[in-house]
Amino acid sequence: MRLATLALACAAAMIGADGQLTAQTKSHAGSRWGADYFPNVELTNQFGEPRRFFDDLLEDKVVLINFMYTSCPDACPLETARLKEVYEILDGRVGDDVFFYSISIDPAIDTPEVMAEYAARFGTGAGWEFLTGDAEDIRSIRKKLGMIQPDEERLEEHTLSIMIGNQATGQWTRRSPMENPYMLANYVGGWLHNWKGPATPRMRMDEAPERLRNISRGEDLFRTRCSACHAVGTEGAGAARPGPDLFGVTERRDDAWLRRWIAEPDKVLAEGDPLAHELLAQWGRVPMPNLRLDAEDVDEIVRYLADETERQASEAAAAPAAEKASCCEKDDLLVLERDLAADGEDAPAPKRSPLLASMAGAALLLALAGVLRARAA
Ligand code: HEC
């Protein structure tokens, strides 16, 4: 216990009590948090390869480390999905100048095979290792990183924080996986490289931090708890996500079912609900986690989903209906002219085809689908 407290104190000094950045000078820090600080225990990655914690995983590297377990019903899948977003924003740099490590805190269950299967479910790629090993060794790593609660008894109590750091410069900081993924990518891809690496992609306006524009509580909850796994129409379209698009979900599902599902999907499934089983069969590589939301949170999220659907529907119906008609009208005329030219006749003055007239009416319906497709492309 005394040892643990001591280690925690060290770790706290290292990362700063509030998890804020504590940059160290190279000479000072490198020697302090080097081979004699971190345990060089042997772990095994998802490919069954032995990996020494310091020599193979940390030394001279910029790393992102989280602790998880594959049977975790709530927070870990969300955390992994959010790290996947950061991974994608870093666009090929992971495995090159940034390394991701997800380390199991339930190694008896999480064999390399189980970890490999979990990694595959999230579609992780090069440079992201899922590691398991001896339970005591993993505890010692967590202690040194300050990633264990002194009174932690059950797996579910484990910290969801992630540790990011640059071993060579001794810059380490603890971050939350609920942070904006662009910010996290910026920390690992920019700050930890002293901004010398390739520029990290610019943050999209719609991902702008809350302070820049007022977003509702429902939208905020959605972004931190749901958007790693779900798009809503054009919001977040483009990236493959583990769960279905929630555009229009408040209309296509019964309200009570929807609220219950968002609050406790695991229980709905356990009760044998047919719709839940159908969805799981369709999407079930990553089951929807129970995120421990209360009724008020669920309320806010459902309102956001309804509002966002309506906003996009009216936006799509307004602007692009005209665009749509003019684009197809042009195409239609081009085809007409070419055909006539091929027949050796002079092209007559262009006339509106009857098809185009009915299209204007249909455009309203098509607009939505068209816009969604166009933006996704
Ligand atoms: C780790 C990924 C993940 C997270 C995080 C997540 N979901 Fe899901 N969600 C899924 C998956 C996968 C499904 C499909 C059913 C299944 O496999 O369990 C799903 C299904 C759903 C459905 C049913 C869709 C339909 O067509 O009826 C709704 C609604 C939903 N999720 C809402 C949410 C909300 C709201 C949040 C945030 C509070 C959220 N989900 C967080 C993965 C996730």
Residue 240 reports pLDDT greater than 90: no
Is residue 242 in contact with ligand 1, taking CB distance under 6 Å?
yes
Residue 135 reports pLDDT greater than 90: yes
- Across the chain, mean pLDDT equals 78
Is residue 243 in contact with ligand 1, taking CB distance under 6 Å?
yes
Ligand 1 centroid, distance to 230 Cα (angstroms)? 7
Is residue 57 in contact with ligand 1, taking CB distance under 6 Å?
no
Instruction: Tell me the C-alpha to C-alpha distance, in Å, between residue 156 and each of 75, 84, 100, 132.
Output: 9, 21, 22, 18
Q: What is the largest CA-CA distance in the chain?
A: 96
Ligand 1: nearest atom to the Cα of 226 = 37
Residue 282 reports pLDDT greater than 70: yes
How far is the C-alpha of 324 from the C-alpha of 370, rounded, in Å?
A: 8
Higher-confidence residue: 51 or 194?
Answer: 51
- Residue among 82, 224, 226 to mutate when testing ligand 1 (max atoms within 8 A of CB): 226
Q: Are 84 and 124 in contact (CB under 8 A)?
A: yes
Is residue 260 in contact with ligand 1, taking CB distance under 6 Å?
no
Residues 6+ apart with CB under 8 A from 162: 64, 65, 66, 79, 83, 174, 175, 176, 177, 184
Residue 376 reports pLDDT greater than 50: yes
Mean pLDDT within 32-41 = 84
Is residue 261 in contact with ligand 1, taking CB distance under 6 Å?
yes
Closest residue to atom 42 of ligand 1, CA basis: 288
Mean pLDDT within 310-321 = 81
* DSSP-assigned beta bridge partners for residue 63: 99, 165
Residue 286: predicted pLDDT: 80
Confidence of residue 332 (pLDDT cuts 50, 70, 90): very low
- Residue among 118, 229, 245 to mutate when testing ligand 1 (max atoms within 8 A of CB): 229
Confidence of residue 321 (pLDDT cuts 50, 70, 90): low
* % of the chain exceeding 70 in pLDDT: 72
Higher-confidence residue: 16 or 223?
Answer: 223
Q: What angle do CA 278, 281, 282 make, to 5 degrees?
A: 90
* % of the chain exceeding 90 in pLDDT: 47
Task: List the structure tokens of 331.
Answer: 């195409």
Is residue 230 in contact with ligand 1, taking CB distance under 6 Å?
yes
Model confidence over 66-77: pLDDT tens digits?
999 999 878 888
Ligand 1 centroid, distance to 263 Cα (angstroms)? 10
Higher-confidence residue: 198 or 29?
Answer: 198
Residue 204: predicted pLDDT: 58
Confidence of residue 375 (pLDDT cuts 50, 70, 90): low
Ligand 1 centroid, distance to 261 Cα (angstroms)? 8
Q: Which fold has domain 2-201?
A: Glutaredoxin (3.40.30)
Is residue 286 in contact with ligand 1, taking CB distance under 6 Å?
yes
- Residue among 230, 246, 286 to mutate when testing ligand 1 (max atoms within 8 A of CB): 230
Higher-confidence residue: 35 or 21?
Answer: 35
Higher-confidence residue: 150 or 204?
Answer: 150
Ligand 1 centroid, distance to 242 Cα (angstroms)? 8
Residue 336 reports pLDDT greater than 80: no
Residue 294 reports pLDDT greater than 90: yes
How far is the C-alpha of 12 from the C-alpha of 172, rounded, in Å?
A: 11
Q: Are 256 and 321 in contact (CB under 8 A)?
A: no
Is residue 249 in contact with ligand 1, taking CB distance under 6 Å?
yes
Could you tell me which of 65, 294, 265 has the C-alpha nearest to residue 177?
Answer: 65
Residue 205 reports pLDDT greater than 50: yes
Alpha-helical segments (H) within the chain: 2-15, 26-32, 75-89, 112-121, 135-144, 181-189, 217-221, 249-252, 255-263, 265-270, 274-283, 295-318, 320-342, 354-376
Top mean-pLDDT range of 5-9, 177-181, 247-251, 348-352: 247-251
Ligand 1 centroid, distance to 229 Cα (angstroms)? 7
Q: Which fold has domain 210-316?
A: Cytochrome Bc1 Complex; Chain D, domain 2 (1.10.760)
Ligand 1: nearest atom to the Cα of 80 = 1
Task: List the structure tokens of 360.
Answer: 């204007």
- Residue among 122, 267, 288, 308 to mutate when testing ligand 1 (max atoms within 8 A of CB): 288
Is residue 228 in contact with ligand 1, taking CB distance under 6 Å?
yes
Residues in the chain: 377
Residue 319 reports pLDDT greater than 90: no
- What is the C-alpha R_g of the chain? 26
Higher-confidence residue: 375 or 177?
Answer: 177
How far is the C-alpha of 285 from the C-alpha of 231, rounded, in Å?
A: 17
Of 85-99, 156-170, 257-271, 342-356, the one with minimum mean pLDDT is: 342-356
Residue 87: predicted pLDDT: 94
Is residue 81 in contact with ligand 1, taking CB distance under 6 Å?
yes
Higher-confidence residue: 267 or 8?
Answer: 267
Of 170-179, 283-292, 350-359, the one with minimum mean pLDDT is: 350-359
Residue 258: predicted pLDDT: 97
Confidence of residue 154 (pLDDT cuts 50, 70, 90): confident
Residue 362: predicted pLDDT: 47
Ligand 1: nearest atom to the Cα of 301 = 35
Confidence of residue 343 (pLDDT cuts 50, 70, 90): very low
What per-residue string of b and e applies to 6-38 under the rule 16 or more CB within 10 Å gives b? ebbebbeebbeeeeeebebeeeebbeebeeeeb
pTM: 0.69
How far is the C-alpha of 20 from the C-alpha of 173, rounded, in Å?
A: 6
Residue 363 reports pLDDT greater than 80: no
Ligand 1 centroid, distance to 223 Cα (angstroms)? 13
Report domain extents, the chain: 2-201, 210-316, 320-376
Mean pLDDT within 158-166 = 88
